[in-house]
Structure 1
Amino acid sequence: MGVDLQMTIIMDRAETPVLTGDGALKTPYRPRIVGVGTAASDTIYTQTEVLDAFGITDPKIRSVFVNSAIDTRHLTLPDPDADGVRNPEPQGDLLDKHKSMAVRMGVDALNACLKRAGAELSDLRHLCCVSSTGFLTPGLSALMIRELGIDRHCSRSDIVGMGCNAGLNALNVVSGWSAAHPGELAVVLCTEACSAAYAMDSSMRTAVVNSLFGDGAGAIALMSGPGDEASGTSEGPTILKLASCIIPEAVDAMRYDWDRELDRFSFYLDPQIPYVVGAHAEIVVDRLLGDTGLRRSDIRHWLVHSGGKKVIDAVIVNLGLTRYDLRHTVGVLRDYGNVSSGSFIFSYERLLDEQVTRPGDYGVLMTMGPGSTLETALVQW
């Protein structure tokens, strides 16, 4: 009897393909999002407070901050010295900051996510950690397992260096894992200590970056099963399909690389990147909806990465959306800034808290980042 049962389980899993080439999840065990949680660092700054903290008086740079559509951000800035000056932190200190902050925010976001999913740490079977604001070996997933005492047999993965689009890259990978392991809980954890990638100087290059990013972590729990009862909750959607688009000619438009003058890593954003990304949004969304019979007008919920005011405006124009459609994206940018890979999770959490989703509603998740890359997911409640 035991052998027959084991054979049945093996056959069921063998007959469950994970992902097809077009990105559709061709499986009876489609993953459902069953929980979400977010966290941020402790200290909140207004844009003016950041400028004043570093004594920035250049009118052009102050204008970049003030006109960013950001009110507040969570940041962990260096303490002022005896003269009230906040000196730049060496790269080694920034790596230490990333390690401690990423774990601390990650713990809070993961616990909040599991609580909303009605799950315990002991239920976790796969943990995928995403970060681009520092490099760790062993990876963040191993540090999280040690910090929280998660079962040592929990499988894990780390996605490092893919940037702001990486949350949906991770969702793609973990959706495949979830489809292949029905009834088992997986979590995607994006934790970005953007304060650990902060380089304040008088250049416009760093001003654009420093006016934008904030600290934050977001976690999404996934589970698949033969029916909705496997998830234990009805508030989260099923993941139906994913689609990607990379723009090779813009590979250098967004990057985090070594700055020889500053002797540290530094972000770079090409001023034209919002328009480049916006111009490709239509292409990737059309691919996502292709062969589904859906039109853009059938999508009720749009959750787009809070990449910046110009990025949001470009997506709205090119997809024919309204600011109401992206109200949560705009709100997250206003209250947190760009929290990199976890931004769309903050928007998703706000949508759920709004309690406006209905069974049958379709939604599109969209992130963008270095590559230059756009990632999308089609979901249904």
Structure 2
Amino acid sequence: MTVLVQETAPERAPARVLARIAGVGTASTAEVHTQSEVLEALGVTDPKVRSVFLNSAIERRHLTLPEPGPDGLRHPEPQGDLLDKHKRLALEMGAEALLACLQNAGRSLSDLAHLTCVTTTGFLTPGISALLIRELGIDRHCSRADIVGMGCNAGLNALNVVNGWSVAHPGELAVVLCTEACSAAYALDSSMRTAVVNSLFGDGAAAVALVSEATAPSTPADPSTPSTSPGPSTASGDGPRILKFASCIVTDAVDAMRYDWDRDQGRFSFFLDPQIPYVVGAHAEIVLDRLLDGTGLRRSDIGHWLVHSGGKKVVDAVVVNLGLRRHDVRHTTGVLRDYGNLSSGSFLFSYERLVREGVTRPGDYGVLMTMGPGSTLETALVQW
């Protein structure tokens, strides 16, 4: 008896759908002040407060301060005026960053299918996304969302959400826009309580475009466990593919970073606990290990680090706890020096500098890291 065995072709792994960064764009306000100029504008004379400003590793910031009064000093603006300022600056910077991002991606406003806007420095209803759609004449059927109040980590929170939207809509263009008018969120005084905040933040907006398409299968097939070879891709642009996200919230420090109502000032104001750098540093290793878990990658395999410019001590804490070199965070410290802390969009300013540097190569891995209220650390693993 002869048994015929029919040969079957080996099963092929299904094509993966991954989002790729297709473009980036940034913008800031026109008014620039050195740290010394801000000290003089606020009339700060206390040596301890002055030292906070002058030892911040920040040289200049984009800030739209109130006009000097008869005494030559800048005085606090009413909360209503600050909300008006936020609306004006956030929309101006946001529009500029969005258009720059689309140009960098080789796209136009007519290509935009989804827009998520991020801000913490003011509250608007309807949100920035709706106002920008009207202002720029974007298709009114454009999908949109607004993320408000999440703070400096929110850019990566938004990227995570929009990455999911992009994967579910292959070939369609999505943009995350972070626009932070920190000039509209200041308590202008010369006290030590506000010194850390007043010495740190600046105005800025940054946008990043995502497009996803099916990529040829590689081994392993799970996107969370990328291969060491880049693998072919038909996604738009030369930016990296987004492989994985990981988060960590330190609930014991939930009040350490906050933006809430100051009854004495009769307005909202930021508060940053002096222990924040150490909280962030102590948990940076935990969240990074979670990000790399199951990928087969070690820290030494990461060629590019884009860390939020949260402040000198925060950056130092991350460098020490992760065993990084100063060169690894050169763009983080460069953005801090030239702009200060730009809240949710800071890491995209660093990403733009990395793109302009032109040192990435196919197959390189990168880690994006932000931190903010919660206290929260957010990370993403990408590959060029």
For 1:87-106, what aligned pairs fall within 5 Å after superposition?
Answer: 87-106=75-94
Residue in 1 that maps onto 2:316: 313
Q: CA deviation at 1:230?
A: 4.3
Q: CA deviation at 1:87?
A: 1.5
Question: Are 1:209 and 2:194 matched, yes or no?
Answer: no
Choose which of 344, 352, 357 in structure 2 pairs with 1:354.
357
Partners of 2:296 and 2:15 lie apart in 1 by 19
Structure 1, unpaired ranges of 5+:
1-25
Q: CA deviation at 1:161?
A: 0.3
Residue in 2 that maps onto 1:369: 372
For 1:329-348, what aligned pairs fall within 5 Å after superposition?
Answer: 329-348=332-351
Q: CA deviation at 1:85?
A: 2.6
Greater Rg by CA:
2
For 1:3-152, what aligned pairs fall within 5 Å after superposition?
Answer: 28-152=16-140
The one-letter code of the counterpart of 2:188 is M
Q: Name segments (4+ residues, structure 1) moved above 6 Å.
A: none
Maintained 8 Å contact 2:211/2:236: no
Partners of 1:27 and 1:113 lie apart in 2 by 28
Q: CA-to-partner distance for each residue in 1:269-321, whole Å, 9 max, x for gaps?
A: 00001000111000000000000000000000000000000000000000000
Partners of 1:288 and 1:351 lie apart in 2 by 21
Maintained 8 Å contact 1:303/1:347: yes
**Percent identity over the alignment?**
76
Q: Aligned in 2, Cα 1:27/1:313: closer, same or farther, shift over 3 Å?
A: farther
More displaced 10-residue stretch of structure 1: 194-203 or 62-71: 194-203
Structure 2, unpaired ranges of 5+:
1-13, 216-231
Partners of 1:133 and 1:88 lie apart in 2 by 16
The RMSD of aligned alpha carbons is 1.1
For 1:289-304, what aligned pairs fall within 5 Å after superposition?
Answer: 289-304=292-307
Partners of 2:237 and 2:346 lie apart in 1 by 23
Question: Are 1:231 and 2:219 matched, yes or no?
Answer: no
Partners of 1:71 and 1:175 lie apart in 2 by 35
TM-score by length of 1: 0.92
Maintained 8 Å contact 1:32/1:238: yes
Maintained 8 Å contact 2:57/2:336: yes
- Aligned residue for 2:125, secondary structure, equals coil
Q: CA deviation at 1:113?
A: 0.2
- Aligned residue for 1:267, secondary structure, equals strand
Partners of 2:151 and 2:273 lie apart in 1 by 15
Partners of 2:302 and 2:210 lie apart in 1 by 22
Q: Aligned in 2, Cα 1:231/1:322: closer, same or farther, shift over 3 Å?
A: same
Question: Are 1:200 and 2:203 matched, yes or no?
Answer: no
Question: Are 1:277 and 2:280 matched, yes or no?
Answer: yes
- Aligned residue for 2:328, secondary structure, equals coil
Partners of 2:135 and 2:260 lie apart in 1 by 29
More displaced 10-residue stretch of structure 1: 201-210 or 300-309: 201-210
Partners of 1:33 and 1:321 lie apart in 2 by 25
Partners of 2:362 and 2:287 lie apart in 1 by 25
Choose which of 150, 153, 171 in structure 2 pairs with 1:183.
171
The one-letter code of the counterpart of 2:348 is I
Residue in 1 that maps onto 2:225: none
The one-letter code of the counterpart of 1:256 is Y
Maintained 8 Å contact 1:183/1:223: yes
Question: Are 1:221 and 2:209 matched, yes or no?
Answer: yes
For 1:148-187, what aligned pairs fall within 5 Å after superposition?
Answer: 148-187=136-175
Maintained 8 Å contact 1:27/1:179: no
Partners of 2:234 and 2:80 lie apart in 1 by 45
TM-score by length of 2: 0.91
Maintained 8 Å contact 1:183/1:230: no
Partners of 1:137 and 1:230 lie apart in 2 by 38
- Aligned residue for 2:351, secondary structure, equals helix
- Aligned residue for 1:326, secondary structure, equals helix
- Aligned residue for 2:214, secondary structure, equals coil
- Aligned residue for 2:66, secondary structure, equals coil
More displaced 10-residue stretch of structure 1: 310-319 or 85-94: 85-94
Q: CA-to-partner distance for each residue in 1:329-381, whole Å, 9 max, x for gaps?
A: 00000000000000000000000000000000000000000000000000000
Partners of 1:139 and 1:70 lie apart in 2 by 31
Partners of 1:152 and 1:177 lie apart in 2 by 18
Maintained 8 Å contact 1:255/1:370: yes
The one-letter code of the counterpart of 1:372 is S
Q: CA deviation at 1:55?
A: 1.3
